[in-house]
Structure 1
Amino acid sequence: MPDPTLNPSVMDGVVLRPMTSADLPLAHALSAELRWPHRQADWEQVFAHAEGTVAERDGEMVATGLRWRWGERHATIGLVIVTPACQGRRIGHRMMSALLDGLEDHTVLLHATAEGRGLYERLGFVRTGELRQHQGAAQPAPLVALPPGWRLRPAGLNEAPALQALDAAARGMPRDALICELLGSADACVVLDHDSEPRGFAMLRRFGRGHAIGPVVAPDAEGAKALIAHLASLNAGHFTRIDIDFASGLAEWLESIGLLRVDAPTTMVRGTPLAKMPGGPALFAIVTQAMG
């Protein structure tokens, strides 16, 4: 029988193993223990695109972590959770080591809490920016005037290739399966057109305590405001969340429509820095902090 002390996945009675769909109810319970807003439906949606790992101690799940591979050179990591009763035992370090295994030649993106940032730095991640999480009961937003030739319109289900290309150019990594799935499941998806050519888009989706706006891809801040204002007005009076790139300069404007800042995670990358296409669209709001 193998000596468990020689197995890097078995230490201090903690066993790491692949996550399965049967683990999702307990994974959801772990996130609820930390007061994270995810519904089990949110876990199911993100797990459909992920490779997950769980840690068990004495047969009880005590930690989770997910990674998403986007194309051959990119990945994101998120939903790294250690139950408070087991924190301080290097379980988070072991979880991250398992998630990073096989990603040595990848650019890996994550969004770090203040508590996790030190661990990620020790694993080779560097700070590249910040997010601002805004949420609240959205107010009807004044329409943003667009220049001649520009308009907003609903997205068609046949437009997945165009939206996938815009997302890849803005995020710096291909996420075709994710964008296709979100297009089919979003409550609303609006496209920013210039002379009948899609130049940006945004989605309103069920998430957590209500709805989330994201991703938001646009050529500039005014285009992003037009997209967000439209979706915020659709969801006026209801709980709405949006996670923006702080460098976007949208924070003050979001507060003016009732979406107040509640958190500021750090954007971190290991590997080649992400780069959007020169002259192309920018990612103003992410899908989720886990998937980027």
Structure 2
Amino acid sequence: MTDISKSGTAADGVALRPMEARDLDAAHALSLRVHWPHRLADWQFSFEFGRGLVAERDGELMGTAQSWSWGERHATIGLVIVDPRCQGRRIGYRLMEALLAGLGGRSVLLHATPEGRGLYERLGFVRTGEVRQHQGTALPAPLVALDTGRRLRPADHNDSEALARLDAQARGMPRPALIGALLAQADTVVLDQDGQARGFAMLRRFGRGLSLGPVVAPDVEGAKALIAHLVGLNAGKFVRIDIDFDSGLTEWLESLGLLRVDAPTVMVRGAVPVLADGSRLFSLVNQALG
């Protein structure tokens, strides 16, 4: 077990405590120090939906980690950062151990950098897949032809329940509050088939520019139509999308100017989320939230 006294302070003087709103400025500064693109607004948005821990020493923030519970059975973990000056002191392990203790028996999903993968394996996580991070200045995107009966349309607030249901089927976790909040701030397009929502895609401000996700669709052509529509409307802007490696979209995205820049590992501790037939998650909300 981690050597933490009743005060929450370890023998090396590093204390763990719950993350508070007042910590977000320092957390944002820490993410910039390790060259992550998150804005303060991105930290604030993530903080609304989960719980976090910080590691501090003498009042200075040394590390962060956040978790998000999705129903009674699932959770995701992300924004695990340790100040480069303090790496090698097991601070990341302490943060993860404490976060996991608060998640009960939930299965936990995360996206690991190469540097973090060994830590997560020691904590019982196993590899289940891979993500491809694509980004760049978007090129004009040719529209993708849709089968008869399918069309794209703008989303409105009446779609919230249907989109949350599609997301839960494709992600394997119920996230209605998250999808509702994204719907309120993102440009969202719906793939409609015979009057029924069968997929959707969301584009919003994030990091260096715009982030495209989640993208949920019944098949590759539906996903391409959704993505091409939003990319085409934002040609010339910086766009990022984090896709499932097995999506078959990598070469096509690169033709739109969105080049592969990273390949995080998908890891799970516990049961792998069960996905419903007919809906597939082609793009994440982001690597933290899943």
TM-score range, shorter chain: over 0.9
The answer for the alignment partner of 1:206 in structure 2 is 205
Q: How does 1:1-292 map to 2 (within 5 A)?
A: 5=5, 9-186=9-186, 188-277=187-276, 279-292=277-290
User: In structure 2, what is the Cα distance between the partners aligned to 1:175 and 1:145?
Assistant: 31
Which amino acid is 2:75 matched to?
A
Cα 1:164–1:41, aligned 2, differ >3 Å: closer, same or farther? same
Residue 147 of structure 1 deviates from its aligned partner by: 0.5
Task: For residue 7 of structure 1, report the CA deviation from its aligned partner.
Answer: 6.0
Counterpart code for 2:47: F
- CA distance in 2 between counterparts of 1:225 and 1:57 reads 48
Does the C-alpha gap of structure 1 residues 175 and 4 become closer, same or farther in structure 2, counting only changes over 3 Å? closer
- Deviation of residue 158 (structure 1)? 1.3
State the 1:5 CA deviation.
4.3
Question: 1:234, CA displacement in angstroms?
Answer: 1.1
Moved over 6 A (4+): none
RMSD: 1.2
In 1, the alpha carbon distance for the partners of 2:70 and 2:4 equals: 34
Could you tell me which runs of 5 or more consecutive residues in structure 2 were left unpaired when the two chains were aligned.
none
Report the 3-state secondary structure (helix = DSSP H, G, I; strand = E; otherwise coil) of the residue aligned with 1:115: helix
Q: Partner amino acid for 1:230? A: H
Q: Secondary structure at the match of 1:89?
A: coil
Using the alignment, how far apart are the partners of 1:63 and 1:4 within structure 2? Answer: 16
How far off is 1:44 after superposition? 0.4
CA distance in 1, matches of 2:107, 2:203: 28
SS at match of 2:115: coil
Q: How many angstroms apart in 1 are the aligned matches of 2:213 and 2:227?
A: 9
Amino acid in structure 1 at the alignment position of 2:283:
A
Consecutive unaligned residues of structure 1, counting only runs of 5 or more, are none
Aligned length: 288
CA deviation after TM superposition for structure 1 residue 4, in Å: 6.2
TM-score, normalised relative to structure 1: 0.97
Give the drift of 1:62: 0.3
Q: 2:169, 2:107 → 1: CA distance? A: 15
Identity in percent: 67
Amino acid at match of 2:284: I
Deviations 1:127-181 (A, max 9, x none): 0000000000001111100000000000011110000000000000000100000
Question: Given that residues 82 and 92 in structure 2 are in contact (C-alpha distance below 8 angstroms), is that contact kept between their aligned partners in structure 1?
Answer: yes
Note the C-alpha offset of 1:280: 2.0
Give per-residue Cα distances to partners, 1:239-274, cap 9 Å, x unaligned.
000000001010010000000000000000001111
Q: Please give the secondary structure, in 2, of the residue aligned with 1:242.
A: strand
- Shift in Å, 1:104: 3.7
CA distance in 2, matches of 1:185, 1:155: 12
Distance 1:4 1:260, change over 3 A: closer
Q: Is the 8 A contact 2:133 2:260 kept in 1?
A: yes
- Contact 2:64–2:79 (CA under 8 A) maintained in structure 1: yes
Per-residue CA distance 1:40-99 (angstroms, 9 max, x = gap)? 000001111010100001221000000001111110000000000000000000000011
- Cα distance in 2 for partners of 1:191, 1:111 equals 27
Letter in 2 for 1:139: L
